[in-house]
Amino acid sequence: MLLYDLCREQCGLLLASRTTMEAGAPAVGGARAAQSGPQQVEPKRLKMSLFVDSVDDGSFALLAIEDYSSRLKFFKQLYGDVPVPQIPTREELSALQSRLLEDESPFVNFRVWTPGQRKRLREEKTKRWTLDDGVPTKVISASTPSLAQRRESFVIFKHAMVMLEQSSFADFERYKSAVEGLTETFGDYWSVVVEANEVMRSSHIGSYKDANPQLPWGECFVLAADDAGFWRCHVDHKVMRLHFTDTEDPQKSGKGRGPRQRASKDVSQQFCYAYQDGRHTGDKCKDGRIHLCQGCNGRRDLPRGRNLCPKAAAAKASAASKGELAGSKPEGASPENRARRA
């Protein structure tokens, strides 16, 4: 029962023991409840941590299917058909609306707010729990989405805000252009831009709403895009500190390392492992690595590799046989040589 309740809790459902007790409880009012007609079914409640933010322990009521369908239909009438992966799911739209109704900032964590929600949830159900000596144990998996994945998640978020009539496409395109411009400028430090973006969307953007409660959230994102002071503090200054730290410390920047260590960071000096097993062919590698056999340092047909190359194996066998011959000779000089030296 414990494991079953844990699974139901992860799916956002009530505990089985609680629903069983409520079903077995005697009805209050008896005949009067029967006369009043069928009771209104309460909307299903799901967990915020599954769809919006993994650290949010709250819950939200699921939108009625009629409400979701009407919003989606109106959205398509205005903007036309959009790819299915870019349409927010019923759960995502319900969770975001719940945040807005509670006067919270419309923050979504792009580690959770992703395309293909059902596939992600299926994978989470198999990964997040394991049995440790018969006790269900939660496994925390922290993955960092790539820039491409973050862009896809932002498109879904933009569509959800438009469906909830909180903003226009132009507002979010303005914000997106500001973030993308910083990412292109500080390409090697894109993680700093990602961190600043999350700080802005999770907390700082609420300050614009506090200053003017009547301000729509779309205009708040426009103000966020134009807030040069925030981006200078959270991106420019941090990048400069990281840059000068790497320059001053040769151990971190790699300038004080030997040639082999520096080569390991240079893709053009690395062997292509796909070439070793035959997945890559030809003289040039599309990833910029070296198409040479690791065993003999030459271009040859399969098999290739440090352990499979026949030429390298023959060289090792020859070296081993020479070592055995050298070890079989008697130690010390021969009597003739000793006599000559004398």
Between CA 243 and CA 249 the distance in angstroms is 10
Higher pLDDT, 330 or 161: 161
Residues 145, 97, 95, CA angle at the centre, nearest 5°? 50
pLDDT band at 256 (very low <50, low <70, confident <90, very high): very low
Higher pLDDT, 99 or 261: 99
Contact yes or no for 275/286 (Cβ under 8 A): no
- Whether pLDDT at 328 is above 60: no
Higher pLDDT, 31 or 58: 58
Between CA 166 and CA 105 the distance in angstroms is 12
Q: What is the pLDDT of residue 33?
A: 44
Coil vs helix vs strand at 297 = coil
Between CA 242 and CA 245 the distance in angstroms is 5
Convert the pLDDT of each residue in 289-325 to its tens digit. 777 887 777 777 777 766 677 777 777 777 766 665 5
Distances (CA, A) of 277 to 86, 268, 282, 298, 313: 38, 19, 13, 15, 17
Residue 251 phi/psi, 5° resolution? Answer: -70, -30
DSSP per-residue codes, 36-67:
T-SPPPPPPEEEHHHHT-TT---EEEPPPHHH
Convert the pLDDT of each residue in 104-150 to its tens digit. 999 999 989 998 888 887 777 666 666 677 777 666 555 667 888 89
Residues 123, 129, 132, CA angle at the centre, nearest 5°? 145
Contact yes or no for 209/185 (Cβ under 8 A): no
Question: 């004080």: which residue's tokens?
Answer: 256
Contact yes or no for 129/11 (Cβ under 8 A): no
Q: Other C-beta atoms within 10 Å of 53: how many?
A: 19
Contact yes or no for 175/220 (Cβ under 8 A): no
Convert the pLDDT of each residue in 85-115 to its tens digit. 999 999 999 999 999 999 999 999 998 999 8
Residue 46 phi/psi, 5° resolution? Answer: -125, 170
- Whether pLDDT at 263 is above 50: no
